[in-house]
Amino acid sequence: MEDRPPEDKVFESVAELFSLLSTPIRLKIISAVCHGEKNVSELLEAIETTQPNMSQHLSTLYRSGVLSKRREGTQIYYRLQSERVAALCRAVCTQVAIELDPAAEIEVKERLMPAAAR
């Protein structure tokens, strides 16, 4: 096995986290539960998708440790397990929203988003 720089593990971990967060529906789910737990029905009211698709994304976020869940009768409630992930999402989404604002005067070198994405 070759010697790799220690930062490789950091970059691999960050890439794994970004991969987890790379789906808009997962970001919407995280946003929806930022201020309190929600059951699947409440999430489906807030986020336009099918129940099977929602369940798949909730399961992925749960298995990764971003969400936790509890059962109450027949309902399953999801809540944030990782406030740090929510803070990261909030920071990036806020910055991108600013950059999408046509009135924003941000130098090209300071932007998060490539010019082609705008």
Q: Is residue 2 part of a domain?
A: no
Model's pTM, two decimal places? Answer: 0.82
Q: Is residue 100 part of a domain?
A: yes
Residue 36 has pLDDT above 80, yes or no: yes
Q: Specify the 3-state DSSP secondary structure of 39.
A: strand
CATH number at residue 34: 1.10.10.10
Average pLDDT of 86-106? Answer: 87
pLDDT score of 117: 56
Domain that holds residue 96: 7-117
Long-range contacts of 87-94 (CB under 8 A, 24+ apart): 88/17, 88/21, 89/21, 89/27, 89/30, 89/31, 90/34, 93/27, 93/31
Residue 48 has pLDDT above 70, yes or no: yes
pLDDT score of 19: 93
Instruction: Please give the order of strands across the beta sheet that includes 75-80.
Output: 38-39, 75-80, 67-72
pLDDT score of 6: 83
Q: Is residue 111 part of a domain?
A: yes
Number of Cβ atoms within 10 Å of the Cβ of 88: 15
Q: Is residue 62 part of a domain?
A: yes
